[in-house]
Amino acid sequence: MRTFAEFQIIGRVGKIKEVGPTLRVSVAAEYGRKDNNGEFQSNPFWNEVTIFNERAMKWVLDNIGSGDLIHTRGTIRQSDYEKDGQKVYGFTLAANDFDLLHKKVVES
């Protein structure tokens, strides 16, 4: 039986930055809700997704911009390292799929 750890995010793109041989894309998932007055309160949670595949990186750079609605899916990789005698844990959201759902609407 194959086992895996996977993530899936539908959200809006923030920043796109090249870091070494990878591309990192921040994506906001919205967890907003209505308050006691019935008003919507925004509560975005930012996630940084890493793209390792060169073709996917080029496609994202050519087709995706800040504010676009995207769907991304991939694997979760946990890591750890020592810093000042303490073990520090982190994780990487490594995108396998990255799709444009809707371009940001620009009002004129």
E strands, 2-85, in order: 6-19, 22-30, 33-34, 40-41, 44-51, 69-83
In the block, which residue shows the tokens 């993530």? 7
pTM, full prediction: 0.84
List the domain range (segments joined by +) for residue 79: 6-102
Is 23 inside a domain boundary? yes
- Mean pLDDT computed over 64-69: 96
On average, the pLDDT of the chain sits at 93
Higher pLDDT, 105 or 13: 13
Are the C-beta atoms of 92 and 77 separated by less than 8 Å? Answer: yes
CATH of the domain at 92: 2.40.50.140
Is 107 inside a domain boundary? no
- Mean pLDDT computed over 66-74: 97
* 19-55: pLDDT as tens digits: 999 999 999 998 888 888 989 888 889 999 999 999 9
**Positive or negative torsion for Cα 64, 32, 5, 86:** positive
The H or E element containing residue 53 is: none
